[in-house]
Structure 1
Amino acid sequence: MRVVVTGLSGNAGTALLRALSAEPAIGSVLGIARRLPDRTAEPYRAAEWAALDLTGEEDAVVEELTALFRGADAVVHLAWLIQPNRDRELLRTANVEGTRRVARAVAEAGVPHLVVASSVGAYAPVDDDEPRDESWPTDGISTSHYSVDKAAQEAVLDELERDRPDVIVTRVRPSLVFQADAGAEIPRLFLGPLIPVRLLRHGRLPALTVPAGLRLQAVHSDDLADAYRLALLRRPRGAVNVAAPDVLRAQDLARIVGNDRLVEVPPGVVRAALALAYDTHLVVADPGWLDMAMGAPLLDTTRATEELGWTPRRTAAEALEELLQGMGQGQGVPSGPLHPASTPALGEEALPRRARHVSVPPTLDSELLGLYLSDHLTGATAGLGRIERMAEAYQDLPLHGELAELAEQVRGERDLYRVLLDYLHLPRRRHRQLLSGVAERIGRLKLNGRVVERSPLTVLLEAELMRSALVGKQAGWQTIADHAEELGLDPDRFVALVERTDRQIETIERLHAYARARAFREQD
């Protein structure tokens, strides 16, 4: 079976790729993402990949999707944009119109089965704790943009079923979806950089404050992925609710967080505080998320268990505990949505093989080695800032997906330098990284002959600068590889980084070829 998945690099998508890779009935998987993950890393290396932004020009997007879908036995549509919360037009285009474009392409490509990630958020609100099955109306919650768009997505699927009854449409409606690898993503999407989630690493929070009456259902990402896998194999029509059987209430949350100080506050008070925090940009989630949490129904999952044969392996409590641990660690994987926090928690698992109790031997000058590694960390910090900006700014270019993948790789390499310096007991010299970051940002102010639009010369020059940075970085990995045995490190790890840099340089050279063919042409 050939399966094409939009949004394969996200929370549910990453778990689904793990599940499909282990399923004998699945012959191949094509992942479609706006930002490609690091395709050399697990689990992403198990799939083919194509970069595509669903918010592009409609007919062009549908045409490209149709070509990608052709020959597939099933399409799984997971792509969904949560941020930027304040840009409703963009969110609706990506999410509702994005689903419509996927549906059009499925029909035009002749794909027999479409599986779509809907949500508990699509359901009409309730004021009780009675579980609702899939027949409950999908009118959404009017004050939640996420809920409104999920309800609109359901209407798009209604149209597809009406117009193309030959296409089997499966709507998976999960509760909250948690895993440790979403530990860095969840705070980015819903809290923002000013909320100290790292306190979870250091023990108990001072107190746990929740809106009175809150109750939650959740499912582990791997269990949700198993529901998608079963849906692909059994091809049910209609909707399927997915949630672990336990319902979490305030006391359960307090126990999981490990805090005896539980404060329940009227929901209206919490909503007012959240609205103020959102209006003043202290948090990135608007009050509509609270409205949905308080008003969404509990899910009756009888159909999933009886018709799909689905059995979750983790409780909601276990899924939440794992997420909180991941949040405290800033945990993630090398993809655009799930990338780790920019300053990850350092631990032995972050080191290469055999690098557990390393130190600089007396045969090497620790001062010079420290300066060398610190210089490369400084270069990696500046390089990461540049490639992240390029990946963000050049989404209209053919190589934007590969630039995003390259950014994920450079982020991981920057973090590896931090780990090595710490475990070799060498100073990072943080002031150098700070100054390099400032210099990189100042360099962005160069206009290259244009004021109100991007100059074609900018792409050319940035590609040249980035190539030089990659060549220097590669020399650094080679130098460490040459001394790895003496330092008690695994030289193969660094040789692999040297080889990967060759592929990174090839990407930048293709960007340079694209730019130099256009840099000096008259623009229409």
Structure 2
Amino acid sequence: MRVAVVGATGNTGTAVLRALERTPEVTSVLGIARRMPDRRADPYSSCDWVSIDIAAAIAEADAERRLREAFTGVDAVIHLAWLIQPNSQRELLRRVNVDGTARVARTAAAAGVAHLVVASSVGAYSPDRAATPRDESWPADGISSSHYSVDKAAQERVLDEFSAAHPEVVVTRLRPALVFQADAASEIQRYFLGGRMPVQVLGAVKPPVLPVPKGLRGVQAVQADDLGRAYAAAVVRRVPGAFNICADDVLGAQDLADIVDHGRFIELPPRLVRGLLFGGHKAGLVAADEGWIDMAMAVPIMDNARAKEELGWEPRSTAAAALGELLRGMVEGRGAGSLPLRARDPGDGRGLAEVEAAEEGSEVSASKGSDVAAGEGGDGVDARGEGADGDREGSHPDGLSLGLLGLYLSDHLTGATAGADRIERMSEVYVDAPVYARLSELAEEIRLERAFLQRLMQDLGLRRRPYRQAVSWAGEHLGRLKSNGRLFSRSPMTLVLEAELMRSAVMGKLGVWQTLEEHADELGLDAGVFADLAERSREQAGVLDEVHEYARARAFREGRETYGPPADERAGPA
């Protein structure tokens, strides 16, 4: 059996790939995503891959052609792709989530796929005030004040219409509760809490009390690998209809407080909680909007009996254990080898420098020896080559000025801080542009390179001068206030200018790697690492050339759209 997974790199998709890999009936898997994962890392290494934008910034005919090619010879399609952010772009969310589902379903039928499995949600259900568990017959008309719920309910109607039009296709819908795993911790933080929420401090400091909205009947969750097994069971058993997927326990206020590890909570009026979330979201402090509170307070408690009986599925983890795993992952900044699941911090920063070596099945770092900082000889410094202020002073035995080198690398680290922040913002803002995938992949490379340079300076005992990076970060953020002629909408010229700025920054970074390659032997470093990074900088400049070419061809012409699908596709059916 060959299975295609659309949206295979996110929280659920990654767990589904792990489950399919362990399912004997599944002989091959095709992963489909807009942005490609690290195909050397598990579980992504066990799949074939193709990059397809199903609806964000592509003409309908082009998307369906590419999907039809991908679905040829496939026995089952699991459709998981769903856009949660940006909240502010409702037309984009609707186009990807609702119209994208219709597009995938329609194309699967045209390609002769016999089974379609779709990710619905507890959020599709209509409001319920009772604490009685509800089965899959509860109405799925959504919560009107939650855009996520509204779109999930609309997706259900799309599937109803599709099933009526294509009785030859078995349609299975899974309606999971909240999906938690440690590897999704950083993704969930970005999508719901935002980057300004210091969740990592929970590892050392516990809040004195947990605020919860009064009247919360309970929180249901499912561990991601349990959900992955449910998708695998659905593919194998080919049972039509809807299935609630959740752990057996329901978390009340006391349970939540116990998991956060202090056991105390305070109930607040729901309107106050909603107002605080509304204000925090508008101020940019919290990523989630108030609709998520509305949905949490209104959705029914689900009964998972049907999944147990007809899919032969049982949860192996409790909701409490899944939430605890997620919180630990947030403290640690956990992630996985895909862009949606990228870790909060790049770790020790060696990953990017090791890419070429990893492809050859070996491992290298910048250091030739066991400790970069050991260097060659002593000459008046300690074992790390540090002076009294923690910075290597004076000259290297071969005449290299470590003070000047440290200042040089610190200046480039300052530039890298601004550059990494700018390209990260570009990869978020231009989600509705065809160049989004390339920008996202480039942003992750640059983020890892900055961490690598930071770690290298630490290993060499060179001072980082963090105040300069802070000033650079602030300056980059202030630069965003420039309107480019538009106050309340994005100027098509902005992408042109930002591509030019980033191209200049990348070429400046090339000089760092060339300098370090030149002096690698004196520093006890591997020159080949920096040669590879220099070549990567040239490739990155090429990517930005492509982005610039795309943007400049549209920015200064009337009637040519820079963002979203082509204009002639906007008014058509999706």
Per the shorter chain, which TM-score range? 0.7 to 0.9
Residue 55 of structure 1 is matched in structure 2 by 56
**Farther off after superposition, 18-27 or 246-255:** 18-27
Residue 430 of structure 1: how far off its partner (Å) = 1.5
Residue 178 of structure 1: how far off its partner (Å) = 0.7
Matched, 1:312 2:315: yes
Which of 324, 329, 335 is the equivalent residue of 1:326? 329
Between the aligned partners of 1:294 and 1:505, the Cα distance in structure 2 is 52
Cα deviation digits, residues 113-166 of structure 1 (max 9, x gap): 111110011112222222212222212122222111111100100111100011
Between the aligned partners of 1:4 and 1:77, the Cα distance in structure 2 is 8
Q: What is the SS of the residue equivalent to 1:454? A: helix
In structure 2, the CA distance between the partners of 1:35 and 1:513, relative to structure 1 (3 Å rule), is closer
**Partners of 2:4 and 2:30 within 8 A in 1:** yes
Matched, 1:101 2:110: no
**Partners of 1:208 and 1:263 within 8 A in 2:** yes
Residue 81 of structure 1 is matched in structure 2 by 83
Q: What percent identity do the matched residue pairs reach?
A: 49
Residue 75 of structure 1: how far off its partner (Å) = 1.5
**Partners of 2:373 and 2:459 within 8 A in 1:** no
In structure 2, the CA distance between the partners of 1:467 and 1:85, relative to structure 1 (3 Å rule), is closer
Cα deviation digits, residues 304-323 of structure 1 (max 9, x gap): 22222222232111110111
Residue 179 of structure 2 is matched in structure 1 by 177
**Farther off after superposition, 301-310 or 389-398:** 389-398
**Partners of 2:435 and 2:547 within 8 A in 1:** no
Which of 469, 472, 482 is the equivalent residue of 1:433? 469
Which of 451, 470, 473 is the equivalent residue of 1:415? 451
Cα deviation digits, residues 368-397 of structure 1 (max 9, x gap): 275565455345434424543554566677
Q: What is the SS of the residue equivalent to 1:185? A: helix
Q: What code does the residue aligned with 1:147 have? A: S
Residue 381 of structure 2 is matched in structure 1 by none
Q: What is the SS of the residue equivalent to 1:172? A: strand
Which of 492, 496, 510 is the equivalent residue of 1:453? 492
Which of 108, 130, 133 is the equivalent residue of 1:131? 133
Which of 218, 221, 237 is the equivalent residue of 2:240? 237
Between the aligned partners of 2:134 and 2:279, the Cα distance in structure 1 is 33
**Partners of 1:114 and 1:169 within 8 A in 2:** yes
Q: What code does the residue aligned with 2:232 have? A: R
Residue 274 of structure 1 is matched in structure 2 by 277
Listed as ranges, the matches of 1:312-461 within 5 Å are 312-341=315-344, 343=345, 360-361=373-374, 363=376, 365=385, 366-367=392-393, 368=402, 370-371=406-407, 374-375=410-411, 377-388=413-424, 391-392=427-428, 400-422=436-458, 426-437=462-473, 453-454=492-493, 461=500
Cα deviation digits, residues 207-239 of structure 1 (max 9, x gap): 111123421111111211121122222222111
Q: What code does the residue aligned with 1:287 have? A: E
Between the aligned partners of 1:463 and 1:274, the Cα distance in structure 2 is 34
Q: What code does the residue aligned with 1:330 have? A: G
Which of 138, 147, 150 is the equivalent residue of 1:148? 150
In structure 2, the CA distance between the partners of 1:112 and 1:495, relative to structure 1 (3 Å rule), is farther
Residue 358 of structure 1: how far off its partner (Å) = 5.2
**Partners of 2:56 and 2:431 within 8 A in 1:** no
Q: What code does the residue aligned with 2:376 have? A: T
Cα deviation digits, residues 155-207 of structure 1 (max 9, x gap): 10011110001111110110000111222222222223443323312231121
Instruction: Return the TM-score normalized by structure 1.
Output: 0.84
**Farther off after superposition, 254-263 or 459-468:** 459-468
Cα deviation digits, residues 301-356 of structure 1 (max 9, x gap): 12222222222232111110111112222322343322233x5687999999899x
Between the aligned partners of 1:480 and 1:18, the Cα distance in structure 2 is 44
Residue 570 of structure 2 is matched in structure 1 by none
Gapped runs of 5+ residues in structure 1? none
Residue 257 of structure 1: how far off its partner (Å) = 0.6
Residue 504 of structure 2 is matched in structure 1 by 465
Between the aligned partners of 1:306 and 1:333, the Cα distance in structure 2 is 33
**Partners of 1:141 and 1:147 within 8 A in 2:** yes
Aligned length: 515
**Partners of 2:117 and 2:171 within 8 A in 1:** yes
- Larger radius of gyration between Structure 1 and Structure 2: 2
**Partners of 1:219 and 1:243 within 8 A in 2:** yes
Between the aligned partners of 2:452 and 2:209, the Cα distance in structure 1 is 35
Between the aligned partners of 1:3 and 1:60, the Cα distance in structure 2 is 22
Which of 263, 267, 274 is the equivalent residue of 1:264? 267
In structure 2, the CA distance between the partners of 1:240 and 1:421, relative to structure 1 (3 Å rule), is farther
**Partners of 2:5 and 2:78 within 8 A in 1:** yes
In structure 2, the CA distance between the partners of 1:31 and 1:405, relative to structure 1 (3 Å rule), is farther
In structure 2, the CA distance between the partners of 1:479 and 1:2, relative to structure 1 (3 Å rule), is farther
**Partners of 2:346 and 2:447 within 8 A in 1:** no
Instruction: Return the TM-score normalized by structure 2.
Output: 0.77
In structure 2, the CA distance between the partners of 1:452 and 1:176, relative to structure 1 (3 Å rule), is closer
**Partners of 1:3 and 1:73 within 8 A in 2:** yes
Residue 360 of structure 2 is matched in structure 1 by none
Cα deviation digits, residues 443-502 of structure 1 (max 9, x gap): 88798xxx9533897588468536625644654786798689x68xxx7xx967865774
**Partners of 1:37 and 1:404 within 8 A in 2:** no
**Farther off after superposition, 170-179 or 1-10:** 1-10
Residue 424 of structure 1: how far off its partner (Å) = 6.2
Between the aligned partners of 1:237 and 1:411, the Cα distance in structure 2 is 44
Q: What is the SS of the residue equivalent to 2:236? A: helix
Listed as ranges, the matches of 1:201-212 within 5 Å are 201-212=203-214
In structure 2, the CA distance between the partners of 1:370 and 1:27, relative to structure 1 (3 Å rule), is farther
**Partners of 1:334 and 1:412 within 8 A in 2:** no
Residue 224 of structure 2 is matched in structure 1 by 221
Residue 10 of structure 2 is matched in structure 1 by 10
Residue 79 of structure 1: how far off its partner (Å) = 1.2
Between the aligned partners of 1:268 and 1:127, the Cα distance in structure 2 is 17
In structure 2, the CA distance between the partners of 1:315 and 1:370, relative to structure 1 (3 Å rule), is farther
Residue 295 of structure 2 is matched in structure 1 by 292
In structure 2, the CA distance between the partners of 1:351 and 1:423, relative to structure 1 (3 Å rule), is farther
Residue 50 of structure 1: how far off its partner (Å) = 0.5
Residue 508 of structure 1: how far off its partner (Å) = 4.5
**Farther off after superposition, 454-463 or 2-11:** 454-463
Between the aligned partners of 1:333 and 1:480, the Cα distance in structure 2 is 34
Between the aligned partners of 2:276 and 2:499, the Cα distance in structure 1 is 47
Between the aligned partners of 1:363 and 1:149, the Cα distance in structure 2 is 63
**Farther off after superposition, 509-518 or 410-419:** 509-518
Residue 398 of structure 2 is matched in structure 1 by none
Which of 157, 160, 163 is the equivalent residue of 1:158? 160
Between the aligned partners of 2:296 and 2:261, the Cα distance in structure 1 is 22
